[in-house]
């Protein structure tokens, strides 16, 4: 994964609240089977408008997006993060983020900065005319003469700073997982034993059970 | 309720503690995952990642693959016409074969929506952790399983390690006192709750639903309630397993039997939250005051009772909400202040992982019985959530009832919920839909969605306008 340390660039003052992942990446783009090339579909419905905020001469390719509360709500589609990354976005600043989206973002090297709504509003105004600097070491966002601190989950911060792959981290814990699995197989045998499920038609022949609701 | 213990724990705490492989010093836990459902949309890049890294599946036997999002709901014997959909569905099958995962193909008798077939097959059991690359995985919490949606990178992580790196969520206790009036369902509870706490109200939390109105719900109705936890921002919804849960699970193909059943039952009975367990937040709703709900905007929180009026954006104080309401009214083609009843709809969709189980179809059928779909309705679909639901409905004659009334009776799949298969709402048209999201363009570009319960969708189909189903039940 690409690491994230510091970043300076144009921040798109988008500002919209409750931006769901359907808006970031609509259904037809979910038929793609690779992680790349989704940028053209990002915010597709909004970008039908020739004067949209994403494609202005100033904002096109900008690395920072400023949005309203509950950014990334709805569907778990990681395509939303791939699309943002492909659009060039490496950092989103907003009052808060949806949980699944937040987990997806970090795995794609995208830093999410949660700030109080007042600070987001101030940055929105300044970002109209000034570049914004995000420093993950110092955990600050700076624009013009405004500088605000932010906190980020310690584990996610380390993954971003070092560009760590979570699967590599977990595979290094194989001995612990083996031990847990072995214990669970002993103490909760039923939980890890998947019966061989006969085909529905064979089942119907074997029993008269119906799916009566309880 | 259990006895008071020295360190009372919630249901969520018990499920979490049971599955911790290792607690890191930074507060992140490595959590064991018992079950993994895989569908065709969110998994291709995960399998490709494994292939590129030369990794294999740790527990293919705990994984189940089924195609649901892209599958057409008609002419299932024919190849899928859309080339991209066909590719995704085909890739799921070939990936499952290559990595040794059980796969339910489009013509398999058990095929259906992931969140319908999981409980149905006993793949979902109380006390387990279950994940799927789909946000509505919260559904399975209705059985007392810790279930949540994950992204594709996390799918790859689970396939490779059968674990996830996660931080414990905060807990939100939602109590439903009183009993539901006639004509009001679990869907209405879900929508009313989202209206109350907001679409981001549960962010960072896991919801546990408690109270007499929850205990009174059937298992399928509990699935509807938990299904929409994510629409309030909560990654999981949970309901403590009880005797209804055990009766539902017993005898299902994946359920334990014999001595294993007894051992499982002992464990499941220990799961309900202890007396004195504390939650980070609590909300209480009197179920007896609820009415059938309908969304008017483009977020599930933009919802009113069917006897209400479309709100005026100026009524909010928060500038974000005012802007969101204005945008929503413009997209939905609605004026503030008009009653929501009487609004003409051209499409009706009864289906989705929220409302496509046999009880949902029975509730719709009860309203329809002997009546016909309004001629002003262009499309009225009934899409059972699985092959088993479809067979059961046909055994009860519900298919004939729907067809005779003018509905189209379909094969199982996600259908008109999300615009990935041929079932769409045309631009500018309205749909009374039993699905879970009224987002901009969700049911097709320009589509206008009004989320309702199955009974309310049936009522709208008969009258051609949004209608208070309680008046049709008199």
Contacts of A107 in chain B (CB under 8 A): 151, 153-154
pLDDT of residue B226: 98
For CATH 3.30.499.10, the residue range(s) in chain B are 11-166+241-269, 297-473
pLDDT (tens digit per residue) in A112-144: 999 999 999 999 999 999 999 999 999 999 999
| A184 contacts on B by Cβ (under 8 Å) | 32
Residues 6 or more apart whose CB falls under 8 angstroms from that of B12 comprise B146, B169, B171, B206, B208, B236, B238
Check residue A212 and give its pLDDT: 39
Q: Do A70 and B84 touch (CB under 8 A)?
A: no
pLDDT of A208 > 50? The answer is: no
User: In terms of CA atoms, which chain B residue is nearest residue A176?
Assistant: B21
> CA–CA separation, B150 vs A129, rounded Å?
38
Three-class DSSP category at A175: helix
Contacts of A191 in chain B (CB under 8 A): 34, 125, 127-128, 264
Distance CA(B60)–CA(B142), nearest Å, equals 25
Distance in angstroms (rounded) separating the CA atoms of residues B242 and B315? 43
Q: Tens-digit pLDDT profile for chain B (474 aa)?
A: 445 567 999 999 999 999 999 999 999 999 999 999 999 999 999 999 999 999 999 999 999 999 999 999 999 989 999 999 999 999 999 999 999 999 999 989 999 999 999 999 999 999 999 999 999 999 999 999 999 999 999 999 999 999 999 999 999 999 999 999 999 999 999 999 999 999 999 999 999 999 999 999 999 999 999 999 999 999 999 999 999 999 999 999 999 999 999 999 999 999 999 999 999 999 999 999 999 999 999 999 999 999 999 999 999 998 888 999 999 999 999 999 999 999 999 999 999 999 999 999 999 999 999 999 999 999 999 999 999 999 999 999 999 999 999 999 999 999 999 999 999 999 999 999 999 999 999 999 999 999 999 999 999 999 999 999 999 986
CA-based Rg of chain B, rounded to a whole angstrom? 22
Compute the distance between CA of residue A94 and CA of residue A91 in angstroms, rounded to an integer: 10
Q: Which run of H or E residues covers position B342? A: none
Burial state string for B432-444 with b = 16 or more CB within 10 A and e = fewer than 16 = bbbbbbbbbbbbb
CA nearest neighbour of B353 among B394, B413, B421: B413
Chain A CB contacts of B134 under 8 Å are 75-76
Contacts 24+ apart (CB under 8 A), A177-182: A177/B21, A177/B30, A177/B32, A177/B58, A177/B161, A177/B162, A177/B163, A180/B21, A180/B22, A180/B32, A181/B32, A181/B162
- Residue A145 makes CB contacts below 8 A (sequence gap 6+) with none
Domain B297-473 CATH (choose: 3.30.479.30, 3.40.50.11930, 3.30.499.10, 3.10.180.10): 3.30.499.10
Closest by Cβ to B30, choosing from A45, A173, A189:
A173
Taking the C-alpha atoms of residue B122 and residue B107, their distance in angstroms, rounded to an integer, is 20
Q: Is A189 exposed, middle or buried (0-12, 13-18, 19+ CB in 10 A)?
A: middle
CB contact under 8 A, B30 and A26: no
Beta strands A146-149 and A140-143, pairing class: antiparallel
Q: What is residue A194's predicted lDDT score, i.e. its pLDDT?
A: 79
For residues B131 and B149, give the distance between their C-alpha atoms in angstroms, rounded to a whole number: 6
Q: What is the mean pLDDT of chain A?
A: 92
| Chain B residue closest in CA terms to A198 | B253
Alpha carbon of B412: minimum distance to chain A alpha carbons (Å): 15
* B458, B474 contact by CB (below 8 A): no
Q: Are B171 and B208 in contact (CB under 8 A)?
A: yes
pTM, full prediction:
0.96
Q: What is the mean pLDDT of residues A155-176?
A: 97
Residues A163 and B279: their CA atoms lie apart, in Å, by: 35
Task: Out of B148, B247, B358, name the one closest to residue A211 (CB).
Answer: B358
CB within 8 Å of B239: residues ≥ 6 apart: B141, B142, B143, B144, B208, B209, B210, B214, B222, B225, B226
The CB density around residue B107, as the number of other CB atoms within 10 Å, is 11
Would you state the structure tokens that stand for residue A178, as one six-digit string? 């083996």
3-class secondary structure, A45: coil
pLDDT at B474: 63
- pLDDT, one tens digit per residue, over A14-64 is 999 999 999 999 999 999 999 999 999 999 999 999 999 999 999 999 999
Q: Using a CB–CB cutoff of 8 Å, tell me whether A75 touches chain B.
A: yes
Write b or e for each residue in B461-472: b if 16 or more Cβ atoms lie within 10 A of its Cβ, otherwise e.
Answer: bbbbbbbbbbeb
The helix/strand count (H/E) of chain B reads as 16, 19
Candidates B316, B312, B315, B309; CA nearest to B338 is B309
Distance CA B410, CA B421 (A): 13
Residues of chain B contacting residue A171, judged by C-beta atoms under 8 Å apart:
160-161
CATH topology of domain B11-166+241-269: Aconitase; domain 3 (3.30.499)
Inter-chain CB proximity A107 and B162 less than 8 Å: no
| Confidence (pLDDT) at A209 | 44
Q: Cβ distance B430 to B347 under 8 Å?
A: yes
Q: What is the CA radius of gyration of chain A?
A: 22
Judge whether A69 and A19 are in contact, CB under 8 Å.
no
Dist. CA B279–CA B282, nearest whole Å: 7
In 3D space, the residue among B422, B430, B457 whose CA is nearest the CA of residue B446 turns out to be B430
Q: Is B294 helix (H, G, I), strand (E, B) or coil?
A: strand
B22, B44, B148 ranked by CB distance to A173: nearest: B22
Asked if A33 lies within 8 A of B108 by C-beta distance, the reply is no
Helix boundaries (H) for B313-453: 319-332, 358-368, 387-395, 398-405
* Angstrom distance (rounded) from CA A70 to CA B319: 14
Q: Say which CATH class B170-237+274-289 falls into.
A: alpha beta
Phi, psi of B350 (to 5 degrees): -110, 110
Residue of chain A minimizing CA distance to B162: A177
CA distance B224 to B220: 7
By CA distance, what is A104's nearest residue in B?
Answer: B151
Reported confidence tier of residue A2, pLDDT bands at 50, 70, 90: confident
* Minimal Cβ distance to A73: which of B32, B160, B199: B199
Chain B's closest residue to A177, CA to CA, is B21
A7 vs A201: which has the higher pLDDT: A7
Q: Which domains does chain A have, with CATH numbers?
A: 6-162 (3.20.19.10), 163-193 (no CATH)
The DSSP 8-state label assigned to residue B422 in this structure reads: S
Query: Which of A61, A101, A57 lies closest to A82 in space, CA to CA?
Result: A101
Q: Is A68 on the interface with B (CB under 8 A)?
A: yes
E-strand spans in B125-190?
129-132, 146-149, 163-166, 170-177
CB pairs under 8 A between A and B: 231
pLDDT at res. B320:
85
From its phi and psi, is residue B372 left (phi > 0), alpha (psi between -120 and 50) or beta?
Answer: beta
Distance (Å) of CA B308 to CA A41, B338, B438: 37, 9, 18
Q: Which residues contact A189 (CB under 8 A, 6 or more apart)?
A: B260, B263
For residues B379 and B347, the answer to whether their CB atoms sit within 8 Å is yes
Q: Cα separation of B385 and B387, whole Å?
A: 7
């Amino acid at each position: 994964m690409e690491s994230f340390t510091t970043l300076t660039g144009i921040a798109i003052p988008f500002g919209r609240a409750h931006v769901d992942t359907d808006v970031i990446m609509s259904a037809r783009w979910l038929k793609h089977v690779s992680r790349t090339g989704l940028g053209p579909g990002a915010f597709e419905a909004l970008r039908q408008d020739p004067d949209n905020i994403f494609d202005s001469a100033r904002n096109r390719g900008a690395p920072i997006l400023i949005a309203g509360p509950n950014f990334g709500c709805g569907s778990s589609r990681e395509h939303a993060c791939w699309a943002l990354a492909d659009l060039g976005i490496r950092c989103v600043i907003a009052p808060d983020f949806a949980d699944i989206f937040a987990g997806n973002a970090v795995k794609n090297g995208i830093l999410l900065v949660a700030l109080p709504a007042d600070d987001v509003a101030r940055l929105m105004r300044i970002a109209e005319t000034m570049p914004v600097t995000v420093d993950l070491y110092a955990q600050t966002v700076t624009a013009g003469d405004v500088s605000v601190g932010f906190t980020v989950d310690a584990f996610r911060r380390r993954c971003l700073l070092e560009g760590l792959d979570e699967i590599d981290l977990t595979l290094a814990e194989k001995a612990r997982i083996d031990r847990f699995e072995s214990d669970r197989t002993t103490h909760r045998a039923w939980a890890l034993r998947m019966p061989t499920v006969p085909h529905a038609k064979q089942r119907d022949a074997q029993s008269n059970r119906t799916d009566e609701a309880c | 309720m259990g006895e008071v213990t020295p360190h009372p724990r919630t249901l969520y705490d018990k499920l979490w503690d049971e599955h911790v492989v290792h607690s890191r010093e930074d507060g992140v836990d490595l959590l064991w995952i018992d079950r993994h459902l895989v569908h065709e949309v969110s998994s291709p890049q995960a399998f490709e990642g494994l292939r590129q890294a030369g990794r294999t599946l740790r527990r293919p036997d705990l994984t189940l693959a089924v195609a649901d999002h892209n599958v057409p709901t008609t002419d299932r014997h024919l190849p899928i016409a859309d080339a991209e959909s066909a590719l995704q569905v085909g890739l799921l099958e070939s990936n499952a074969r290559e990595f040794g995962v059980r796969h339910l193909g489009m013509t398999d008798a058990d095929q259906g929506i992931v969140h319908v077939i999981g409980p149905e097959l006993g793949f979902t059991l109380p006390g387990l952790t279950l994940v799927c690359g789909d946000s509505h995985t919260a559904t399975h919490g209705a059985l007392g399983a810790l279930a949540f949606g994950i992204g594709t990178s996390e799918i790859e992580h689970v396939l490779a390690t059968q674990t996830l790196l996660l931080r414990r969520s905060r807990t939100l206790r939602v109590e439903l006192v009183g009993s539901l009036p006639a004509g009001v369902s679990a869907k209405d509870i879900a929508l009313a709750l989202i209206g109350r706490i907001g679409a981001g109200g549960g962010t960072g939390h896991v919801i546990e639903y408690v109270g007499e109105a929850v205990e009174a719900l059937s298992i399928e109705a509990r699935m509807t309630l938990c299904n929409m936890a994510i629409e309030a921002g909560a990654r999981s919804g949970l309901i403590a397993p009880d005797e209804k849960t055990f009766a539902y699970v017993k005898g299902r193909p994946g359920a334990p039997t014999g001595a294993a059943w007894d051992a499982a039952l002992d464990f499941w009975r220990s799961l309900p939250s202890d007396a004195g367990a504390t939650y980070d937040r609590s909300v209480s709703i009197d179920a007896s005051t609820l009415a059938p709900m309908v969304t008017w905007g483009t977020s599930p929180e933009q919802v009113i009772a069917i006897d209400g009026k479309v709100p005026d954006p100026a009524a909010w104080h928060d500038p974000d909400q005012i802007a969101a309401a204005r945008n929503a009214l413009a997209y939905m083609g609605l004026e503030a202040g008009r009653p929501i009843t009487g609004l003409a709809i051209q499409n009706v969709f009864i289906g989705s992982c929220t409302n496509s189980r046999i009880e949902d179809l029975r509730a719709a059928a009860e309203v329809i019985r002997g009546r016909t779909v309004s001629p002003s309705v262009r499309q009225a679909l009934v899409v059972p959530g699985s092959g088993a639901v479809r067979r059961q409905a046909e055994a009860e004659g519900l298919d004939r009832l729907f067809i005779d009334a003018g509905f189209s009776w379909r094969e199982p799949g996600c259908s008109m919920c999300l615009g990935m298969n041929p079932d769409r709402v045309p631009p500018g048209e309205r749909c009374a839909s039993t699905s879970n999201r009224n987002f901009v363009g969700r049911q097709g570009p320009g589509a206008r969605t009004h989320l309702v319960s199955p009974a309310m969708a049936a009522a709208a189909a008969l009258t051609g306008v949004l209608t208070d189903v309680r008046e049709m039940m008199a």
